[in-house]
Chain A
Amino acid sequence: EVQLVESGGGLVQPGRSLKLSCAASGFTFSNYGMAWVCQAPTKGLEWVASISTGGGNTYYRDSVKGRFTISRDNAKNTLYLQMDSLRSEDTATYYCARHREWSYFDYWGQGVMVTVSS
């Protein structure tokens, strides 16, 4: 069974940093692209970032370019999102998702809440 479990969320002040993790199990992690998708409170879904199987290619939505870094450790079956220079508008639930061949997201974690507020 595919499982994705996020951690690392919480309350952080504007301008500070936070690092999210996503532990994957139930599939060969190194064979799949991965992604982060966010959802602001009572809002819709937004793709945030994606990473290729080996980690050599990364892609970001414009609003997080230069502030967020997606990475992975295939030996640990773990996906990361380093979030720097956080803004209030980054407040959201962040979902880790398996990204099929740079197309759709077929499995999602349960999500982790990030609140940016002073």
Chain B
Amino acid sequence: SAVISQKPSRDICQRGTSLTIQCQVDSQVTMMFWYRQQPGQSLTLIATANQGSEATYESGFVIDKFPISRPNLTFSTLTVSNMSPEDSSIYLCSVQGQGREYFGPGTRLTVL
């Protein structure tokens, strides 16, 4: 199994600012995944972060809005840039192992 931590756990931000979310895993993993979960909705994959290369973004998500870093095999960051109220969501990172997915506790973001 994998233990994942995220920082911050929650934040309230002003429109137009940026927030960087950190994700730390207790073991080395090849890929990390970033999801968004809007209120009352399911999980939507934002991008897949592979160590040593650029992240792969899903349709509807772009690097300028959600830049991702993956400096090593246990850590990744997701930045939500130029935020608007529509970005208010829970942001989750995850890793996969043994045929299943392990999630962090999430970062609850509220944009005013």
Tell whether A and B belong to one assembly.
no
